[in-house]
């Protein structure tokens, strides 16, 4: 049995612009992060995957971005992350992530918006269909989406309250709010 397996997280980041969908799910940038079980060591890093729209001379195109990232705040505008599973085959998971397509740019009707949120949804479906990369996990899209949206709303409200008492040990800018979807509880980072 492998101990201290890497984890898969859904991360929500601050983003500019107004939400174009109902439920405000695109009010945040959504991405996936592979990271270690614990982050006590600041030299530990993770891998962040994002679907982003880039402007080119031929117009906008979607690209999959894979980059090494610190798991500590300050390097990105990460608001929260939700741990959705324990990885048992990292190479297989990386293959699934890298091979979940982003669409070629095509104008879409307003009700059929493709964005980072859609890519995360489709990628979790690919991981679930693969069935071999993850151990204990919650990959059901409705559960992941609803938990992430609830937790970011809860955390942002808490941040606003805690900032008033930051000098007194309130809000800590050196941690990322993290929720364990398997255990159903917040965990320290």
Supply the pLDDT for residue 111.
45
Per the domain annotation, does 39 fall within a domain? yes
Tally of domains within the chain: 1
Scanning the structure block, which residue is given the tokens 């608001």? Answer: 79
Q: Is residue 80 part of a domain?
A: yes
Entry pTM: 0.85
8 A C-beta contact, residue 9 and residue 81: yes
Domain that holds residue 86: 7-187
CB atoms near residue 94 (< 10 Å):
16
Q: Is residue 154 part of a domain?
A: yes
pLDDT of 103 > 80? The answer is no
Residue 2 has what pLDDT? 63
Determine the distance from the C-alpha atom of residue 119 to the mean position of all C-alpha atoms in its chain, rounded to a whole number: 11
Residue 2 lies in a domain: no
Res 155: pLDDT = 86
What is the mean predicted confidence (pLDDT) over 10-23? 70
Q: Is there a domain that residue 1 lies in?
A: no
Whether 155 and 79 have beta carbons less than 8 Å apart is answered as yes
- Residue 142 in any domain: the answer is yes
**Residue at 164 is within a domain:** yes
Q: CA 155, CA 179: separation in Å to the nearest integer?
A: 10
Between residues 88 and 26, which one has the greater pLDDT?
A: 88
In terms of average pLDDT, the best of 65-79, 105-119, 130-144 is: 130-144
Q: Does residue 45 fall inside a structural domain?
A: yes
pLDDT at 117: 86
């Amino acid at each position: 049995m492998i101990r201290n397996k890497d984890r898969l997280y859904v991360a929500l980041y601050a983003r500019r612009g107004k939400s174009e969908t109902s439920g405000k799910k695109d009010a945040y940038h959504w991405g996936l992060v592979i990271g270690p079980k614990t982050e006590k060591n600041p030299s530990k890093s993770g891998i962040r995957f994002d679907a982003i729209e880039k402007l080119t001379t031929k117009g906008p195109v979607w690209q999959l971005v894979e980059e090494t990232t610190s798991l500590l705040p300050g390097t990105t505008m990460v608001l929260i992350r939700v741990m959705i599973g324990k990885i048992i085959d990292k190479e297989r998971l990386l293959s699934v992530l890298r091979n979940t397509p982003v669409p070629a740019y095509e104008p879409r009707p307003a009700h059929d918006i493709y964005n980072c949120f859609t890519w995360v949804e489709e990628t979790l479906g690919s991981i679930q269909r693969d069935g071999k990369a993850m151990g204990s996990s919650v990959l059901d899209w409705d559960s992941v989406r609803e938990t992430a949206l609830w937790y970011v709303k809860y955390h942002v409200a808490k941040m606003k309250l805690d900032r008033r008492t930051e000098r007194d040990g309130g809000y800590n800018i050196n941690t990322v709010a993290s929720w364990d979807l398997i255990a159903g509880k917040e965990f320290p980072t």
